[in-house]
Amino acid sequence: MVTAAARHVADGEVVFVGMRLPLLGFLLAKETHAPNAVGIYELGIVRDSAAPAPILTMGDLPNLYRASWLADTGDAMALLQQGRVDLSFIGGAQVDLYGNLNTTCIGDLQHPETRLPGSGGACDLASLAGRHILIMAHQRRRFVPRVDYITSPGYGDGPGWRRRVGLPRGGPSAVITTLGCFSFDPRSRRMQLDTIHPGVAPETIRSETGWPIDLPEAPAETTPPSEHELKVLRRFDPEGYWTGRR
């Protein structure tokens, strides 16, 4: 998932980097095909080089070391709100077919079955970045026809919704899941499969998605991580904290 996400970063882009897996995705992109990408972190950091040592949070001191700018959250958010951010990555608990993301509550807001941590900066990234990418575990309970709560707006109820509610730009461009890579049809704004991860059956995607999803007859396979990409990942995540060897 990290590798597939990292490949969405074009060289020279300004990336607003969210907490957890996106931290690693940005470092990977930076050390492989996108050496000129610039990272912005919501706690008030801009950096144009990878952190010199492994980090688990964006506030770990290696991420502050020789930063381009150490400033305030309001300064990082100013760059985002102005439209200076090309791309951001966010993770989520529940997503729907229009890419709306819920990280606030499962069930009724007043009496939730499960209370989740909330937005953090995710709502801001989904509202204001040029485009954003969702990174999610692919399970039927997470891929629902309509999210219980829109924490981070996707395409709302379909075409034209973002403009109608007043969002200035953006929208989700991709969803990277444990089963495949997805994008959004430009006309209907509905989620569609791009590539399926090696070894995953199309039937699994169908059964783990909570709405009838159209799948091509012979979907292309996601290119697995290269030796070089794996080497870089091991350097930034030596104990496998994020990449599953924990």
Rounded to the nearest whole angstrom, what is the least distance from the CB of residue 215 to another protein in the complex? 29
Q: In 3D, which of 243, 97, 231 has the Cα closest to residue 157?
A: 97
Instruction: Quote the tokens at residue 119.
Output: 């937005």
Cβ partners under 8 Å of residue 59, min gap 6: 43
Residue 42 bears catalytic tag: yes
Interaction of residue 152 with another protein, rule CB under 8 A: yes
Distance CA 77, CA 58 (A): 15
Cβ atoms of 21 and 230 closer than 8 Å: no
Question: Residue 122 is which amino acid?
Answer: A
Size of the site for another protein (CB under 8 A): 57
What does residue 27 show for φ and ψ, rounded to 5 degrees?
Answer: -60, -40
Of the candidate spans 54-62, 172-180, 198-206, 212-220, the one that interacts with another protein by CB under 8 A turns out to be: 54-62
Interaction of residue 241 with another protein, rule CB under 8 A: yes
Residues 23-52 that bind another protein (CB under 8 A): 41-45, 52
- For another protein, the closer of residues 74 and 198 by Cβ is 74
Interaction of residue 245 with another protein, rule CB under 8 A: no
DSSP single-letter state for residue 7 = T
Rounded to the nearest whole angstrom, what is the least distance from the CB of residue 61 to another protein in the complex? 5
Interaction of residue 118 with another protein, rule CB under 8 A: yes
Contact letters for another protein, residues 68-87 (x by CB under 8 A): --xxxxx--x--xx------
What does residue 87 show for φ and ψ, rounded to 5 degrees?
Answer: -150, 145
Catalytic site positions = 42
